[in-house]
Amino acid sequence: TRAASVDALYCMLTDRVDAALLDAAPRLRVVSNMAVGLDNIDLDECTERGIAVGHTPGVLTGATADLAMALLLAAARRVGEGIDYVRSGSWGEFRLDLLLGHEVHSSVLGIVGMGRIGASVARRAVGFGMSIVYSGPTRKPDIERELGAAHTSLERLLQTADHVVITAPLTPETHHLINRESLRLVKPTATLVNVARGPLVDTDALVEALERGRIAAAALDVTDPEPLPADHPLVALPNCVVIPHLGSATQATRAAMADLAARNLVQGLAGEQMEAAANPQVYL
Ligand code: DGY
């Protein structure tokens, strides 16, 4: 009912902007999402109705890439289990076989979706002496030249990477991109990191792969469902690190996102092309 009178919407990734909402908001001309991901918005529907949509690419790239590395290191090197071990009072004498993990440095990193965030993760990984393979519909010659990254199919990536980071957008094509079959291809020593959107991974299949030790570990900033209930099997698994969608959660990044989303909104209302337009075709 409140939508009926609004000209512009400033929204977050938890707000669904779909045909039903648009039907209820006949005056709407501008949607500004304070997120880079657009899976909460029916973009085609907005474009068809001439509604300009903005989002926040660029400003959160570095923060999200930092967190992807933090998660990879935490899961592969069993930092969460180490913290639990100390907190539970289990720390006794030094043991040579205590919580042995898998190497991150000098290993092969597979990046699923070489967009801005994927490339930013890759730059960090090269600093760790890692080599990069990536999958996705578009080859990135600049990144290949800059980082020596090699494009490959998803199947080949999963077979050859020592660790896998998912940074692809959620679309109908990427829903459950990582499923029971694909998890069978992953190395048993690998960590799977997801900083994109939960539904890119089939959660039940991931639980099964982690329980059976088919993959070494997972580190998830995003989950399906989200929020993940505390009694969900993923939370109890020692080889799974779960944190509550914190990719862009630094003070500076969140402020930059809020500013960019506000500028998009004001520009959209003024009939100007937004600084970060998601459907620039509405201006044609
Ligand atoms: C995004 O922007 O899409 C993130 O998921 C939240 O910052």
226 is catalytic: yes
User: pLDDT tens digits, residue range 148-185?
Assistant: 999 999 999 999 999 999 999 999 999 999 999 999 99
Catalytic pick among 55, 102, 214, 245: 245
Query: How do the residues of the chain divide into helix, strand and coil, expressed in percent and rounded to 5?
Result: 40, 15, 45
Helix (H) or strand (E) holding 109: strand 108-112
Q: 1 pLDDT exceeds 70?
A: no
Catalytic pick among 78, 102, 197, 214: 197
Say whether pTM exceeds 0.85. yes
Question: pLDDT-derived band of residue 283, with 50, 70 and 90 as boundaries?
Answer: confident
CA nearest 31: which of 54, 4, 61, 6?
54
State in Å: Cα 195 to ligand 1 middle: 9
Q: Is 163:140 a contact under the CB 8 Å cutoff?
A: no
Best residue for ligand 1 mutational test, from 12, 55, 60 (most atoms within 8 Å of Cβ): 60
Q: 189 pLDDT exceeds 90?
A: yes
Q: Where are the alpha helices (DSSP H) in the chain?
A: 19-23, 43-48, 61-76, 79-87, 116-127, 141-147, 154-160, 180-185, 203-211, 233-236, 251-269
Task: Give nearest CA residue, ligand 1 atom 3.
Answer: 37
User: pLDDT tens digits, residue range 209-268?
Assistant: 999 999 999 999 999 999 999 999 999 999 999 999 999 999 999 999 999 999 999 999
Tell me what pLDDT residue 43 has: 98
CA distance readout (Å), 186 to 154, 157, 164, 210, 217: 11, 9, 9, 11, 11
Residues having CB closer than 6 A to ligand 1 are 13, 35-37, 56, 60, 247-248
User: pLDDT tens digits, residue range 125-148?
Assistant: 999 999 999 999 999 999 999 999
Calculate the average pLDDT of the chain: 97
55 is catalytic: no
197 is catalytic: yes
Instruction: Report helix, strand or coil for 215.
Output: coil
Catalytic pick among 226, 254, 263, 275: 226
- CB-based contacts of 238, cutoff 8 Å, min separation 6: 80, 81, 84
Tell me what pLDDT residue 2 has: 86
Query: Quick check: bond before 169 cis, omega within 30?
Result: no
Q: DSSP assignment, residue 55?
A: -
Q: Where are the alpha helices (DSSP H) in 148-248?
A: 154-160, 180-185, 203-211, 233-236
Task: Give nearest CA residue, ligand 1 atom 1.
Answer: 35
State in Å: Cα 204 to ligand 1 middle: 24
CA nearest 112: which of 209, 44, 214, 186?
186
